[in-house]
């Protein structure tokens, strides 16, 4: 089996009820990149990478497409079921740019599952459950509005909440965290995510002011070093998200006692293959983590969902997907949806979705053998 065509599509995803408000960033629409691999036996695999704007992480949509343009000619003729070889070939021709490579990696997993008649989650060791818990992000707002959103989402069935903080006086963050924490039903967990916006001073002050609350702090500060400097000075477990750039950093953050858990993005670390390794390292060291992506449509959501379904429940913080903020689906029947705070795995092989390719218009680039 060989890859004989690679199509790259650009697609706009307007944000429903925009803006999506997080520290330092109002998000109005997203620019996603979709890869379609066509194989010599007619098998087709899809992958997607959708950075959350250009300042959430050092990744952006044009960068993804530029990297894919550089990579694609080297991948024609490779066997997509030899996913390790495909990743090695990408690394041999372009350093870094894991978020672009992720689209190819995910498409290879999709094609492999389809040709073997197996779901990606089963290729990854098997689903531990068919319904995967999600979590809801409460956007930057007043304490009263945050608490109201928290009540509503728990009533819907979300087993975990994340409150966005940062980019405003710490007193406002403390008030909002306290208000949301006060709504928590038994068993519902809460993370406060500053999306790298706090200074170490702010993180220490908020944590000390909320020391009686059972929350985790997610990516409080920008750099890895700033977050590492919080160890021993904050009263809460520390989760890394934006700073957990790759497997090596995850290993270091665990080995040096910096991270108690992670908010993980499939595209950031390089796709399903890299996320599987992160999953296994986190399992070995008992560090809970999410399996998300920054944004994206059904393909990105399905990739996260399939990996999320394979994480042991005790070590799993859920799979966030962008679907509540995106109108429509690439696959109307099996598109990935949150239902009562949980997400059902689609039944079909590969990623389990059959996108309507016509939605994306003409590809921006096509590479043929
Ligand atoms: C809440 N998320 C999973 C969605 C946005 O992409 C940001 C992200 C996070 O935790 O930072
Ligand atoms: Mg986060």
Query: Mind listing the domains of the chain with CATH numbers?
Result: 3-117+354-368 (3.30.390.10), 122-344 (3.20.20.120)
What does the DSSP assignment read for 75-88? HTTS-TT-HHHHHH
User: How many A from CA of 103 to the centre of ligand 2?
Assistant: 21
Work out which ligand 1 atom sits closest to the CA atom of 265. 3
Residue 293: CB within 6 Å of ligand 1?
Answer: no
The CA angle 80-88-8, to the nearest 5 degrees, is: 55
Q: How many CB atoms lie within 10 A of CB 192?
A: 31
* CA-closest residue to ligand 1 atom 6: 294
pLDDT of residue 24: 79
Structure tokens at 236: 């809460």
Report mean pLDDT in 10-residue bins for the chain, 369 residues. 98 92 86 98 98 91 98 98 98 98 98 98 98 97 98 98 97 98 98 98 98 98 98 98 98 98 98 98 98 97 98 98 96 98 98 98 97
Structure tokens at 262: 């992670």
Could you give the CA distance from residue 90 to residue 69 in angstroms, rounded to a whole number?
Answer: 12
User: How many A from CA of 358 to the centre of ligand 2?
Assistant: 33
Give burial (CB, 10 Å; 0-12/13-18/19+) of 295. Answer: buried
User: How many A from CA of 263 to the centre of ligand 1?
Assistant: 8
Could you give the CA distance from residue 124 to residue 83 in angstroms, rounded to a whole number?
Answer: 12
Length, in residues, of the chain: 369
Structure tokens at 96: 């870094």
Residue 135: CB within 6 Å of ligand 1?
Answer: no
CA atoms within 13 A on the CB side of 224: 15
pLDDT of residue 53: 87
Could you give the CA distance from residue 271 to residue 135 in angstroms, rounded to a whole number?
Answer: 21
**In terms of DSSP bridges, do strands 342-344 and 131-133 run parallel, antiparallel, or are they unpaired?**
antiparallel
Give burial (CB, 10 Å; 0-12/13-18/19+) of 345. Answer: buried
Active site residue 101: no
Query: Helices 272-284 and 98-116 sit at what angle, rounded to 10 degrees?
Result: 90
Could you give the CA distance from residue 217 to residue 234 in angstroms, rounded to a whole number?
Answer: 9
For 338, the enclosing helix (H) or strand (E) is: strand 338-339
Q: Which of 101, 114, 196, 265 is catalytic?
A: 265
Q: Where are the alpha helices (H) located in 18-97, listed in sequence order?
A: 61-75, 83-93
Name the DSSP letter for residue 280. Answer: H
For 98, the enclosing helix (H) or strand (E) is: helix 98-116
Could you give the CA distance from residue 144 to residue 247 in angstroms, rounded to a whole number?
Answer: 39
The CA angle 20-303-312, to the nearest 5 degrees, is: 100
pLDDT of residue 196: 96
Active site residue 265: yes
Name the DSSP letter for residue 21. Answer: E
The CA angle 97-352-94, to the nearest 5 degrees, is: 15
Q: pTM for the full model?
A: 0.97
pLDDT of residue 55: 87
pLDDT of residue 154: 98
pLDDT of residue 23: 82
Q: Quick one: which ligand is closest to 296's CA?
A: 1
């Amino acid at each position: 089996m060989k890859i004989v065509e690679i199509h790259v599509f650009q697609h706009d995803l307007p944000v429903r009820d925009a803006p999506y408000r997080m520290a330092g960033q109002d998000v109005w629409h997203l620019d996603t990149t979709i890869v379609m691999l066509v194989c010599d036996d007619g098998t087709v695999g899809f992958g997607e990478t959708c950075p959350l704007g250009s300042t959430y992480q050092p990744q952006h949509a044009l960068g993804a497409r530029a990297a894919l343009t550089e990579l694609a000619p080297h991948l024609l003729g490779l066997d997509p079921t030899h996913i390790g070889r495909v990743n090695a070939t990408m690394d041999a021709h372009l350093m870094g740019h894991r978020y672009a490579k992720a689209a190819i990696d995910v498409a290879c997993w999709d094609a492999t599952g389809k040709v073997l008649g197996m779901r990606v989650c089963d290729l990854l060791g098997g689903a531990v459950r068919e319904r995967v818990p999600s979590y809801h992000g409460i956007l930057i707002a007043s304490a009263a509005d945050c608490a109201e959103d928290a009540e509503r989402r728990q009533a819907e069935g979300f087993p975990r909440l994340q409150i966005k903080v940062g980019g405003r006086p710490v007193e406002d963050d403390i008030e909002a965290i306290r208000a949301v924490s006060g709504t928590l039903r038994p068993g519902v967990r809460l993370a406060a995510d500053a999306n790298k916006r706090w200074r170490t001073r702010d993180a220490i002050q908020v944590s000390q002011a909320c020391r009686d609350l059972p929350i985790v702090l997610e990516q409080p500060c920008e750099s890895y070093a700033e977050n590492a400097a919080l160890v021993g000075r904050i009263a809460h477990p520390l989760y890394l998200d934006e700073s957990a750039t790759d497997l090596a950093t995850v290993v270091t953050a665990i080995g040096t006692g910096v991270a108690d858990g992670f908010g993980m993005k499939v595209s950031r670390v390089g796709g399903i293959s890299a996320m599987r390794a992160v999953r296994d390292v986190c399992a070995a060291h008992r560090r809970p983590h999410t399996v998300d992506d920054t944004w994206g449509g059904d393909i990105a959501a399905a990739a996260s969902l399939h990996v999320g379904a394979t994480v042991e429940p005790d070590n799993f913080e859920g799979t966030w997907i962008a679907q509540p903020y995106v109108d429509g689906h690439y696959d109307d029947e099996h598109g990935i949806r949150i239902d009562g705070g949980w997400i059902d795995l689609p039944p079909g092989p590969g990623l389990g979705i059959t996108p309507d390719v016509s939605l994306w218009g003409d590809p921006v680039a096509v590479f043929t053998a």
